[in-house]
Each structure stands twice: as structure tokens, then as C-alpha cells.
Amino acid sequence: MANQDKINELITKRVEAKLGGGEKRIEAQHAKGKLTARERIDILLDENSFEEFDMFVTHRTKSFGLDKEIYLSDGVITGHGTIDGRIVYVFSQDFTVFGGSLSETYALKICKIMDMAMKIGVPVIGLNDSGGARIQEGVRSLAGYAEIFQRNIMASGVIPQISSILGPCAGGAVYSPALTDFTVMTDKTSYMFVTGPKVVQTVTGEVVSAEELGGAQIHSTKSGVSHFLAKNDEENLLLIRKLISYLPSNNLEDPPSIKCDDPIDRLEDVLNEIIPENPNQPYDILDVITTITDNAEFFEVHRNYARNIVVGFARFNGRSVGIVGNQPKYYAGVLDCESSRKAARFVRFCDGFNIPIVTLVDVPGFLPGTGQEYGGIILHGAKLLFAYGEATVPKVTITLRKSYGGAHDVMSCKQLRGDLNYAWPTAEIAVMGAKGAVEVLEGSNIKKIEDADEKQLYIEKKEEEYTVKFANPYVAAKYGFIDDVIEPRNTRFRIIRALELLSNKKEVNPPKKHSNIPL
């Protein structure tokens, strides 16, 4: 009987721990349109796969009356489970306990699962919903954050790290998500900022709401802090499940491959007509991407940020790939500070986790102007150049239309160790467009012509000559900078063949402590 009493005590404690801050606070969480920490884990992981650690951990603080307010689990649920049968480690912050604020023991719980994930070589997913550091613990809670940050840094490029923001995330708490690979925010109920609206008003006099300062819309469109924007908690968590399906468990594994029932030699005649005859007319690069990928699927990353470039995951013959494509639909697909940084980070992630990169090029150049130059376009453009040049994964590049100037070099050209570089017959590969080239090359001759009509005819003639000579892929092909000019409708098949050819590619960068990327 004594044994049964002890078992009953265990059962009672488990029930107590699962209640978190109690029924009233759970109701308050639901009233805000938010799920509880445990409900979120249930959606994220495969059914009945979660195994919890440290359910009976409590804080160690006696001052400020905290010794009279003790909750099992101490505000964060940690453990492991599976997503589509693959192991992941998870921590889920519980806002019903001290507003999810981080204590020393809370931090140690998170550190424990991060250490385990590194040993085993599996992803870590953090579900964030916290008021920040537990003020009553002072510097100990700050030390706890720094312990987590150090682990984020050591795990970077070793195991995938994903952050879900499902409520407040402020002050020091924002830096762990910023150090991870992907961040998912929920519209209207999540926000991130280093200093809150009250501090902003006190220090700067600026009056701003939490939503305007660091809401999900702001970070998904203006700052780029958030990679994905979800409508609610459930969509947020299902996005993570989908993201994980494209990623390997660690940097020593290949990404998962699934059975493909989409014919690899599927011809798409629509691609032969997709490039407009007018070189200044836009089209949607997403139409190209979804036409060539398996089952027209494309999992876009940073969809609402720097929309002049598109990045995301897809599959070719069941294999996971990263796609980078200039988007003529926005700003003619030019490269600027934001799009360069967005694409560079994505390329480096793919390279770190053995995911081949397919690049679709239609870029008229870098965006000119003082705004870009003052914003450091030179450094930001160099980041993308660096990322492609550093990458050792298979790289397949297809030039669809424009590829001008420095932007041609930056977009995975042959000299940045592009493995297979193809071009459509519509490709224009040159230092600049015909109009700009004629102004430079024929400027002095044009000035000598006094008659306006005659001058216009001369300009048009020279532009046509330049177009015939350079606005095609064959000059680059003549020098071997393009491996082949391909029929657009055959693009899917050529990419799949290229990726199969490169599947055993080995390329090693020179040994060094680390590079000095132009930050």
C-alpha cells in the first residue's frame, strides 16, 4: 500500500505540473486567442510522441516573496518528441507561470535539452511566450540568457534551430531567436523588441504601440527578423512541421528524400512563352518555380520581406533543394541592401545543411541611389557574393532573362564555383543594358549630331546593334561561362539531371579558423 501512496503522489504532482499557473491563468491565455504551452507541443509533435524532462524543477529564489509562490516546471516545458517520425527537442514557455519569465533554473532546463540535441544531432525548436527576464532573480536570469545564447552560437550550422514567437518576446529574450535559423511569428498576438514602447517614449519621446514597434507584420515586412507570418498559433506550429520536412537533422546528414510521382521529364510548353517580348515587362518568377518543382510545391521563406528576390524550399525528384530567384514583379528584380542580405542568409543556411541551391536569374543590376549607397549596398551585395562563393553544395544556375553587370557575378555565376550554369535563349548577359551601353560607348558621337530626329535614329540603330551582339546567351556560352543554352520547357528535366550528376560532389574550402564575411 505504501508503494501505491508514492505512485499516487507522483500522479498528483504530474497533474499539478500540467496545470502550470492554474485554471484561471489558462483561461486568460485562451481569452487572448493563444494556446497553452502544452497545447502547442501537442500540435507541433506527432501524437503521443512527447517525453518531458524536468517536470519537477522549481526556482530557487527566496527573496521578494517568491518562496511562497512555487510552480512545478518553473514556467517552461522541455523534452523531446517526433515530427513525421523524426526526433526533435522542444522547449515551450508557459506564460501562465510568472508571465513565462526566465529564471536561472528555467534557463538550465533549456540548456539541458540544447546540449542533448547537439549530442544526438537533432533540431531544437523553441516556442517563445515570455515576459523576459525574471526581475526578482537579477543577474542570475541574465546569466541564464547568456548560457542559452552561447549554445545557440555553438549549435549554429550543426543542428537546425527554429524559433516560434507566440506572445511577447522582449529585451534579452529576442537574441536567442535572432541567433537561430528561422523565426515564425503569429499575427496580432506576438511581438519582439529590444526595448518596449514605454522605454522608447521615455528615452526618445516617440509614442508607439507594441504592434507598431515590433509586431509580426512589422518584422515580416520591414525588418526581416521574422521568416514566416502565421494567422494563429496552430498555423505557426504547422509551418514548423512543414519546414522540418525539408531539412536534415544535422549538418552531417543529407536532407530527407521522399518518393516522387511527378514525372522528371515533364515538359512545360508554358515556359517557352513566359518571358515577355518587351524586356521591361515583368512576369512572376513564382510561376516559373511552381511549374518546374515537384507537384508545383514551393515553401517560400521571407515571403513578405525584400520581395524583389524570392527564396524558399522545394523538391526535385523527391530531393530537397533551396531556390533563389530574382523577382521581376517587384522593382524589376533589382538587388538592393535587403534582398542581398535575405538571399545571402538563405544561401549560407542551405550550404551549412547540405541542401543544393538552384538559382533563377533575371537581374537588371543593383539599385542605384544615395539611399542604397549610404545603406551599405557594397557590403550587403558582397554578402551574397561571399555566400555563393563560399558554398560547396551543388549549385545549378539558370539565367532566364537579364543578367547585367556586377549583379551577374553575384548571382551564382560560373566563376563563383557555379557547378552547372544554363541559360534560356531569352537570356541577356552583358555589362549593362543596351540603352546605358550606347550612352557610354557612343556618347561623344551622339553629341556631334545636331538634328534631333537623326540623333534618335542613330541611338536606336546603335542600341539594336548592341542588343544583337550582347543581349543573348551565346557570347557567354562561347567562353564556357554558360554550360548550355536550354529550351525553357525542358528546365525541370535539366535541373533534375544536374542534381543527380552533382549528388556526390566534394568540394572543400581552405582550412581556416573562420572567414571574415563582410558583415
What's the chain's Rg over C-alpha atoms?
A: 27
Q: Which of 41, 36, 37 is nearest to 51 (CA)?
A: 41
| Residue 167 is among the residues annotated as catalytic for this protein | no
436 is catalytic: no
- The residue to which cell 526566465 is assigned: 102
Neighbours of 64 (CB within 10 A): 11
Q: How many Cα neighbours within 13 Å face the side chain of 190?
A: 32
How many distinct helices (H) and strands (E) make up the chain? 20, 17
- Residue pair 50/93 in contact (Cβ under 8 Å)? The answer is no
Burial 427-456 (b: 16+ CB within 10 A, else e): bbbbebbbebbbeeebeeeeeeeeeeeeee
% helix / strand / coil in the chain, to the nearest 5? Answer: 45, 20, 35
Active-site residue among 121, 318, 406, 436? 406
31 is catalytic: no
Choice among 121, 157, 172, 405 that is catalytic: 172
User: In which element (H, E) is residue 377 found?
Assistant: helix 377-390
Q: Which residue among the candidates 144, 171, 322, 433 is catalytic per the annotation?
A: 171
- Residue of 407, 427, 437, 476 with catalytic role: 407
Residue 352 dihedral angles phi and psi, to the nearest 5°: -65, -25
Query: By the 8 A CB rule, do 155 and 239 touch?
Result: no
DSSP string, 308-365: TEEEEEEEETTEEEEEEEE-TTTGGG-B-HHHHHHHHHHHHHHHHTT--EEEEEEE--
- Integer Cα distance of 360 and 380 in angstroms: 20
- For 421, phi and psi rounded to 5 degrees? -115, 115
Give start and end residues of each alpha helix (H) in 156-196: 175-179
Look up 407 and say whether it is catalytic: yes
Catalytic residues: 171-172, 406-407
